[in-house]
Structure 1
Amino acid sequence: MGRHHPAQRQLDLAHRLLHHRLTPRRGDPSGRRAARRSAAGLLPAAGRNRAGAPPAPGRPGPPDRAERDRVHRHLRARVDAARALDVPYVNTFVGRDVTRPVAGSVEPAERILPPLLDYAAERGVRLLAENCPMEGWHPDGYPGNLADSPELGDWMAGLGGEGRGSLLTYDPSHLVWLGIDPVAALDHALDRGMVAHVQAKDVEIDEAARTRYGVFGRTVGRGSPTDGGRWRYRVPGRGSIDFNRLVDRLHEAGYDGAVAVEHEDPVWGGTLDRTKTGLRIAADHLRPFVARNSRGRRTTEGGRRPGDGDTTARPDARPPRCQPNWPTS
């Protein structure tokens, strides 16, 4: 991959985003020019890019307010960078106090989150919350993210007022092991115009282990909060998710955003060559389900962006229904 390859340019930009701080210059109060030069103010967050107020990962206890403030500053810097780079969305998670019931975090979140949503909206950016449970934030592997279910997704979308609530980064893999129908959850979110980004990640369920351990996985002998022992993430086509059906739903709703492969497959990982093979398996599996746009890029085609107030599908833009294409290598 040469230095001028589009993917290489994106990697270079991502590197700058993660390693440079925004320094607004005199005469540039918005920081827009500085952001384009230094690409942000984004420092590595070590997986802690949470808009709520949880304790540090693996350390159950009361919320760390200094950490909350740090994360909020980090999130605002991401929003500033997105505005400068004309990126419409910033994805995050919504941490909770794992020492209290979920309802005990909802009330303070309703005070804490709207100012962040407003900050983004005033800059033409929408915040997204992924439906990942973030079980690694809870010592027993229970959900630590206040956006892991359709119910909580609806609650998040209702914060911040009209056109300002959090939209959804939809990942079907988490829903499956939580016992949530990923198609029904997607239909609901599409009907509400909430889906702004889609992650293509599959999951493999060990039914015998689920019978033994229960929904949230093993307790005795659990090596880490994420060591549930009854599911593992796979590249698309190697698990149980019907991506043909899911992408067809996106077509039908007029979704025109990205379907991005998230590679966490332990079988096709560990080395660069195996990781590349895993990505090829994913691409081969998904390729028949998407159409090319006028610029030659693959897309789910048609429709407005979520949050525009019009999520009606355009029948003339709908491609024919896709047929399954199971990879053989």
Structure 2
Amino acid sequence: MKLGVFTVLFSEKSFEDMLDYVKEAGLEAVELGTGNYPGNAHCDPDRLLSDKGRLQAFKKAVEDRGLSISGLSCHGNPLTPDRDFAKRSHETFVKTVELAERLEVPVVNCFSGTPGDHEGAQYPSWPISPWPHEYREVLEWQWTEKIIPYWKEWGRFAADHHVKVALELHGGFSVHTPATMLRLREEVGEVMGANLDPSHLWWQGIDPVAAIKILGKVGAIHHFHAKDTYIDPDNVNMHGLTDAQSYANMQDRAWLFRTVGYGHDMKTWTDMISALRLVGYDYVVSIEHEDALMSVEEGFQKAVRNLSSIITKEKLTDMWWV
């Protein structure tokens, strides 16, 4: 495996300064935002797709530092009833796939999207209860009329461009659990997989090690985010795991995003790294830092230090003890 970072936390740095900083930190890969929620500070598809020379210089800057691009990330909502944002999200996805092919990046990371509850809806709807019955009816309408048709078409588009689609299993979006990931994969094909981020599994009550085994045994993990979550048991009893308070209400919230090792101990993270190897994942572990209790620099460096001590890099060629 390789250790990398989702570079949106370094958006204030220039592209080459960011690459130098990542290289100096001892990492081997970068995950780059191309628009929508992550922004495109370091990787603007319009500029790169329209200028072959710029594209070649961009790729060379990464390769000259001995780095690789693990994925291009364009998390948005192409299924939202907000037509303007849906259009922007979709167009950015299409351009990101085209750019990934040209850069020989195998993975595009994004969200599944969330539709509304009917054709004339104004806002997305995320039904998570089977009763009253209308919630279940809405959910089936969303999958049948919106989610499956969209990804059948655009999953095929990605596959035609030799790119895999890695959906982040994030609450609030239609694909947010191993089961919903596998449902879409069964309908669309192996081009669809997970950008598995344990931080979003913990707050849904899902054990990431179990999720890795479920998805990994069918080859459905295309990318991995390293981000932690602290669960506050007292606040869970007040607000539940689906706590919808602002992230700024840190003392009151049921859970908070933390840097690696500050929500769960390193034994837990070691178990995840081992589970990834067990199921054959030998790609990038990409640090994502959204810890409100630490600066960009401190949170990043602590994640690097903690993961560097446990990540498994060498291939096991022979069981010498057998």
- TM-score computed with the length of structure 1 as normaliser: 0.68
Gaps of 5+ in 1: 26-31, 40-46, 55-62, 134-142, 270-274, 294-300, 302-314, 321-329
Per the TM alignment, residue 209 of structure 1 is displaced from its structure 2 partner at its CA by 0.8
2:108 aligns with 90
User: Which structure is higher in helix share?
Assistant: 2
User: Which structure is higher in strand share?
Assistant: 2
- RMSD (Å), alpha carbons: 3.5
Percent pairwise identity: 23
1:173 aligns with 199
> Which of structures 1 and 2 has the larger relative contact order (alpha carbons within 8 angstroms, sep 6+)?
2
Q: Secondary structure at the match of 2:43?
A: helix
Q: Secondary structure at the match of 2:243?
A: coil
What does 1:1-329 correspond to in 2, within 5 Å? 5=20, 7=22, 15-18=41-44, 20-21=46-47, 24=50, 35-36=55-56, 49-50=75-76, 52-54=78-80, 63-96=81-114, 97=116, 98-99=124-125, 101-107=138-144, 108-133=146-171, 143=172, 145-161=173-189, 163-164=190-191, 166-217=192-243, 222-223=245-246, 229-240=253-264, 242-269=268-295, 275-293=296-314, 301=315, 316=317
Distance 1:72-1:286 versus aligned 2 partners, 3 A rule: same
Gaps of 5+ in 2: 1-12, 24-28, 34-39, 60-72, 117-123, 128-137
AA partner of residue 316 (structure 1): T
Instruction: Give deviations 1:131-179, integer Å, cap 9, x for gaps.
Output: 121xxxxxxxxx2x11111111101222334x33x11100111111111
- Select between 282-291 and 182-191 the one with higher mean Cα deviation: 282-291
Per the TM alignment, residue 250 of structure 1 is displaced from its structure 2 partner at its CA by 1.3
Separation (CA, whole Å) in 1 of partners of 2:159 and 2:77: 15
- Alpha-carbon contact 1:83-1:125 (below 8 Å) kept: yes
Distance 1:65-1:189 versus aligned 2 partners, 3 A rule: same
Distance 1:179-1:35 versus aligned 2 partners, 3 A rule: same
Distance 1:129-1:216 versus aligned 2 partners, 3 A rule: same
- Alpha-carbon contact 1:82-1:88 (below 8 Å) kept: yes
- Alpha-carbon contact 2:247-2:256 (below 8 Å) kept: no
Distance 1:65-1:38 versus aligned 2 partners, 3 A rule: farther
Distance 1:159-1:284 versus aligned 2 partners, 3 A rule: same
Distance 1:69-1:50 versus aligned 2 partners, 3 A rule: same
AA partner of residue 289 (structure 2): H
Q: Secondary structure at the match of 1:21?
A: helix
- Alpha-carbon contact 1:199-1:259 (below 8 Å) kept: yes
Separation (CA, whole Å) in 2 of partners of 1:280 and 1:224: 23
Distance 1:16-1:51 versus aligned 2 partners, 3 A rule: same
- Alpha-carbon contact 1:251-1:318 (below 8 Å) kept: no
Separation (CA, whole Å) in 1 of partners of 2:238 and 2:76: 33
**Count of aligned pairs between the two proteins:** 259
Q: Secondary structure at the match of 1:259?
A: strand
